[in-house]
Amino acid sequence: MRIHPRHTQRLAVGVLGAATLLTLAVLAFIIVFVLKKGLPTVTWAFLSGMPQDMGRAGGILPTIVASAILPLLALVVAVPLGIGTAVYLAEYTRESRFTRTVRFGTDCLAGVPSIIFGLFGFIFFVILLGMGWSLLAGGLTLGIMVLPTVIRTAEEAIRAVPTAYREVSCSMGATPWQTVWHVVLPNALPGILTGVMLSVARCLEETAVIYFTAGTALRLPASLFDSARPMSVHFYLLAREGLSNENAYGTAAVLILAVLAVNLTAYWSMHAFLRRRARKSC
């Protein structure tokens, strides 16, 4: 028996709608659940205090410091390399075997799982280059990890700058590099910033890489060669070893809020970029 198309239409909309609602509900549940359990723990003393008794009591200040330093180190690596690659791909060359290889390599690098980055960072930075478990080794590994994100978003942002800008710049006698530096990059900046903020978020949530490369020391790091424990790893150890569920939820709440804030900045930046683009092209 054939079902009337009107009924299959209704059925399809119902099933698809239910699946969508379920998805959104699950994802929303996770955030609400963690914030509800965690936020009561988050006080000024929790944020600014030193951990006591392996994190069972006290605050999470050193982990916040480590969570701030690691993404910054990663950006020091990823931003110049990423933007440089994007400028080369978008401004200095045509589509060729070389650009296809670079894109393929970038896409493959984006797919490498964090545990492999962790193994690599451990054997290369920690052991071979003798950095030991340190912020430096962790930051450098994270930098390689987020490189594809920076390259992709920067290239898109640069390609979105209207060709007319470049033509005007060149017609006034600017060299290609002057055009890139004074015209293209400033106009692509908000788009590039989006990629940078997404990279920061990725570093904040990352655990496996840091666990292998920066270690788990629960002190305030005195230098880049010190081992340190960011919020993600602290949360993992608290939760896994059952040290303190209360402090684990508290750390998770701070971590989630930090990642959401960074991601929101990224979207806001992208929207500012798109709005400005739309206005200028009219």
Partner 1 sequence: MRRRLDDVIARPLLAAIAFSAIASLLLIAAFILKEGLPFMLRVGLPHFLGTSDWNPQEGRFGIFPMIVASLWVTLGAMLIGAPLGVAGAVFLCEFVPPPVMRAIKPTVELLAGIPSVVYGFLGVMVLAPLIRTHLGGPGLSLLAAAVILGIMVLPTVISISVDAINAVPASYREGALALGATRWQAVHMVVLKAARSGIVASIILAMGRAVGETMAVIMVAGNTPRVPHSALDPVCTLTAKIAMEMASATGLHRQSLFAIGVVLFAVIMGLNAIALTVIRRRTRSAP
Residue ranges in 56-95 that form contacts with partner 1 under rule CB under 8 A: 80-81, 84-85, 87-89, 92-93
Instruction: Indicate whether 184 belongs to the interface with partner 1 (CB under 8 A).
Output: no
Q: Which stretch binds partner 1 (CB under 8 A): 42-50, 102-110, 161-169, 217-225?
A: 102-110
Question: Binding to partner 1 by residue 132, rule CB under 8 A?
Answer: no
Residues of span 28-47 touching partner 1 by CB under 8 A: 30-31, 33-34
Cβ neighbours of residue 226 closer than 8 Å, sequence gap 6 or more:
134, 135, 217, 219
| CB of 112 closer than 8 Å to CB of 119 | no
User: Which of 39, 61, 68, 239 touches partner 1 (CB under 8 A)?
Assistant: 239
Cβ neighbours of residue 258 under 8 Å, at least 6 residues apart?
A: 67, 204, 231
CA atoms within 13 A on the CB side of 210: 30
Q: Which DSSP string corresponds to 24-49?
A: HHHHHHHHHHHHHHHGGG--HHHHHS
Find how far residue 108's CA is from the centre of its chain.
17
204 near partner 1 (CB under 8 A): yes
* Segment lying near partner 1 (by CB under 8 A), choices 46-54, 106-114, 161-169, 221-229: 106-114
Q: Does 201 bind partner 1 (CB under 8 A)?
A: yes
Shorter beta-carbon distance to partner 1: residue 102 or 224: 102
104 binds partner 1 (CB under 8 A): yes
What are the Cα distances from residue 42, in Å, to 66, 243, 257, 262?
18, 17, 11, 19
Residues in the chain: 282
Out of 163, 178, 265, 275, the residue judged to bind partner 1 by CB under 8 A = 178
For position 112 contacting partner 1 by CB under 8 A, the verdict is yes
